[in-house]
Structure 1
Amino acid sequence: MSAGAIVGLIFAIFFAIGVCFFAFVLVRVAEVLKETTKLVAGITQETVPMLNEITDTVKNGNAQLVKVDAITDNVATMSKNVSGLVGTATSAIGGPLVKVASFSYGVRAAITSRKNEDVAKRVKAELKADRKARRADKKKG
Structure 2
Amino acid sequence: MSPGQIAALVAAGAFVLLVLLLAIPLIKLGRTLDEATKAIRAAQERSDPLLTGANTTLTHVNTQLERVDGITANARAVTGNVSALTSLFTATMGGPLVKAAAVSYGISKAVRARRKRREAGSTRRRRGR
Q: TM-score, normalised by structure 1?
A: 0.74
The 3-state SS of whatever aligns with 2:17 is helix
CA distance in 1, matches of 2:11, 2:88: 109
Q: 1:116 to 1:25 in 2, by over 3 A?
A: closer
CA distance in 2, matches of 1:99, 1:49: 72
Q: Which amino acid in structure 1 is aligned with residue 82 of structure 2?
A: V
Q: Which amino acid in structure 2 is aligned with residue 73 of structure 1?
A: A
Q: Which residue of 2 aligns with 1:65?
A: 65
Q: Which residue of 1 aligns with 2:76?
A: 76
Query: Which sits farther off after the overlay, 65-74 or 98-107?
Result: 98-107
Q: Which amino acid in structure 2 is aligned with residue 109 of structure 1?
A: K
Deviation at 1:118, TM superposition (A): 3.9
Q: Which residue of 1 aligns with 2:35?
A: 35
Deviation at 1:62, TM superposition (A): 0.6
Deviation at 1:83, TM superposition (A): 1.6
Q: Which residue of 2 aligns with 1:50?
A: 50
CA distance in 2, matches of 1:79, 1:62: 25
Mark the runs of 5 or more structure 2 residues left unpaired by the alignment.
Answer: none
Query: Which sits farther off after the overlay, 91-100 or 56-65?
Result: 91-100
CA distance in 2, matches of 1:54, 1:8: 67
CA distance in 2, matches of 1:15, 1:102: 116
- Sequence identity percentage: 34
Where do 4+ consecutive residues of structure 1 move more than 3 Å?
115-127
Deviation at 1:50, TM superposition (A): 1.6
Deviation at 1:43, TM superposition (A): 1.7
Q: Which amino acid in structure 1 is aligned with residue 44 of structure 2?
A: T
Mark the runs of 5 or more structure 1 residues left unpaired by the alignment.
Answer: 130-141
Deviation at 1:115, TM superposition (A): 3.4
Deviation at 1:17, TM superposition (A): 0.4
Deviation at 1:77, TM superposition (A): 0.8
Deviation at 1:85, TM superposition (A): 2.0
Rg: which structure is higher? 1
What RMSD, in angstroms, separates the aligned Cα atoms of the two structures? 2.4
CA distance in 1, matches of 2:71, 2:41: 45
Q: Map 1:4-23; keep pairs closer than 5 Å.
A: 4-23=4-23
